Amino acid sequence: MKLRYLAVLALSGCGAEQEHRLTSPDGDLVLTLSEGERGRIEYSLSHNNRAVLEPSPLGLVLNDARFDTNLTLVDAGEVSEVTDRYTMAHGKQREISYSANEQVFSVKNAEGDSLKVAFRLSDDGLAFQYRIPNETGKSRSLNRELTGFDFSSNSKAWLQPVAVAQTGFANTNPSYEEHYQMNIPVGTDSPTEAGWVFPSLFYTGNDWVLITEAGMDGRFNASRLAQQSPEGEYRIGKPMEAEVVTNGALMANADSAFASPWRIVTVGDLATVTESTLGTDLAAPAVAEMDWVTPGLSAWSWALLKDESVNVKTTREFIDYAAQMNWPYVLIDVNWDQNFGWEKLAELVNYANPKNVGLLVWYNSSGEWNETEYTPKSKLFDRESRLQQFARLQEIGIKGVKIDFFPGDGQSVMQYYHDLVSDAADHNLMVNYHGSSLPRGLHRTYPNMMTMESVNGFEMITFTQQTADKAPSHMAMLPFTRNVFDPMDFTPTTFDEIPNIERRTSNGFELALPVLFTSGIQHIAETPQGMAKVPEYIREYLRDIPTLWDETRLLTGMPGEHAVIARRRGSDWFIAGINGTDSEKSLNLDLSFIDKASGQLITDGDTDRSFRQSEIVNQDDFAITLRPRGGFVINF
């Protein structure tokens, strides 16, 4: 990352009641920083001269200092240009360039304690970070954060509630697995005291706004929006007391200088927000190159066959299935240590290796923070035990681990995520977190962090008809929220029927999901038996889907209603679209950016459980009609 000082300051030095302005490189976004009533520091944001955020509060309360009222802006640093170029191991865009204007402000309270706030404005949004000094070496901790995001009263929101800690299956909540409340008035209370998860989506009437955070280093707790937002002013909320590992801390703490994660406010039309890379732009650079990390698709027996499928015979069948589909992985889920153990696991590795299939195995993260009985359990929390497990997995040739059932968003949990993925990297193991928090850019810092669940995913559809009924609209939300910045292990796609559940999505809808959703390892829910029932051209299509893309474009969409996304790998374009509504939807797609004359279209046939394949001529204005809860793919 490079810093270059600009020749002209955004505004002159600090003074009483003086405003300070910072603009984005293209000049369209403007941040205004000012001193408000009672000595509060406030910021506001505009885009093309229209308000995005009204004056909104800044501040922290630490264990030994308050930065809420009676604050003074004592210094406005020079405006500098920040540029960065980096490469991702997996995700929606491989090569990424970032450019922003940065200004760092120094603040003091009435007691003379100091705090710095760094702001960055890029063409697609605002990011800001608190920088907390520590010259004494004594422990400093966060009591609460006062940051707010104040929207005008006519704005709308698309938000997911946070589940109350220590509720749900075996007390495993929160896991970011609730459904979104869509198009609600700003100021609507969360139905739970725990608040709303990030990313949080808003529409001001002019601009779409997506709020999240990135740049976690393990010393800070994860954040969310608080339950109440009077008059549209949303405040940063904190985890509930139970969201910690055994004997772990809840809130940020350090005995040296430390910084908050970057608070990110992405702004623009829906395409700008959906295509943005701010979630990785603001994350820490990769700790190492990790050229052994290989993204790809995976077969997974547990999705439809559940616990009984974790046995040697079924695993061999899924290894053969993955080999036939040209997928590089098979995931072995819960209780493998009890059902067949280490010796048979090594034999399965030896069976899979000649077929160019790598094996991934499941672990329970838990120490004492939930009541799950699935094993291997209590093997990873103690570092000495963890290193022994990882060394043994590496020795027999396991490629990665799926680690499940985390306790929430407390600082100690964030540190645990970092410790696990770091130690896994030392043993050439890829990582998939389930029952988890949001990645928050962790996959840039640790390229072996392939994916995280943190979503009401496919497994939830198999549990209740109510979830299956909501699935089409829910899945049409995810490209605009959960999956914008971070990999998401939804575990998509089945064409056969789900036991005891009436699937509401069409086969074309299901076929679109592995391209519509991004995940470093894309676990496919369909079984060998179900895949054998579809036409060969479907299997052929699924053999060639990348999980690392060079370019991503939103062609059209509306959160909770429909989404059409185009992704490029090399010279090949994959377009995927879904209709999350109960009505037929006609769309016109601008395909003028594709320089190929013809492509293959696969869409729904005469029924929801059939396909139709055709060759299409590329047109700048391509018309397509989607069935209710239907979908399609195009490959150029």
- pLDDT value of residue 3: 55
- pLDDT value of residue 367: 81
Rg (CA), the chain: 24
Eight-class DSSP state of 548: B
φ and ψ at 537, to 5 degrees? -65, -25
CATH: 1.20.120.1200, 2.60.120.10, 3.40.50.2000, 2.70.98.10. Which one for 2-281?
2.70.98.10
Task: Note whether 480 and 568 are within 8 A (CB).
Answer: no
Which of 145, 281, 317, 404 does the annotation list as catalytic?
A: 404
Among residues 358, 273, 370, which one has the least CA distance to residue 323?
A: 358
Give the 3-state secondary structure of residue 582. Answer: coil
- pLDDT value of residue 484: 99
Among residues 497, 615, 484, which one has the least CA distance to residue 557?
A: 484
- Tabulate helix, strand, coil % of the chain (nearest 5): 20, 35, 45
Matching residue, tokens 């392939």:
450
- pLDDT value of residue 368: 87
- pLDDT value of residue 411: 99
CA 359 – CA 269 distance, rounded (Å): 41
Distances (CA, A) of 561 to 180, 216, 356, 381, 578: 12, 32, 39, 41, 8
Matching residue, tokens 């390892």:
521
Distances (CA, A) of 272 to 147, 475, 554, 561, 574: 24, 20, 8, 18, 19
Q: What is the DSSP string of 400-451?
A: EEEEE----S-HHHHHHHHHHHHHHHHTT-EEEE-S----TTHHHH-TTEEE
User: What average pLDDT does the structure give for the chain?
Assistant: 97
Model pLDDT for residues 424-464, shown as the tens digit of each residue:
999 999 999 999 999 999 999 999 999 999 999 999 999 99
CA 509 – CA 245 distance, rounded (Å): 39
pTM greater than 0.85: yes
CA 446 – CA 435 distance, rounded (Å): 19
Was domain 455-517+548-636 assigned CATH 3.20.20.70?
A: yes
CA 11 – CA 28 distance, rounded (Å): 17
Which of 35, 317, 409, 459 does the annotation list as catalytic?
A: 459
Please state the domain extents for the chain: 2-281, 455-517+548-636
What number is the average pLDDT over the span 599-603? Answer: 98
Identify the burial level of 539 via C-beta atoms within 10 angstroms of its C-beta, where 0-12 means exposed, 13-18 middle and 19 or more buried: middle
- Does 606 qualify as catalytic in the annotation? no
Strands 449-452 and 430-433: parallel
End-to-end CA distance of the chain: 35
Model pLDDT for residues 3-36, shown as the tens digit of each residue:
554 433 333 344 446 799 999 999 999 999 999 9
Eight-class DSSP state of 37: G
Distances (CA, A) of 507 to 347, 504, 513, 626: 36, 10, 10, 12
Model pLDDT for residues 284-338, shown as the tens digit of each residue:
999 999 999 999 999 999 999 999 999 999 999 999 999 999 999 999 999 999 9
Distances (CA, A) of 435 to 176, 348, 370: 8, 26, 11
Task: Note whether 503 and 469 are within 8 A (CB).
Answer: no
Per-residue pLDDT for 92 more than 90? Answer: yes
- Does 145 qualify as catalytic in the annotation? no
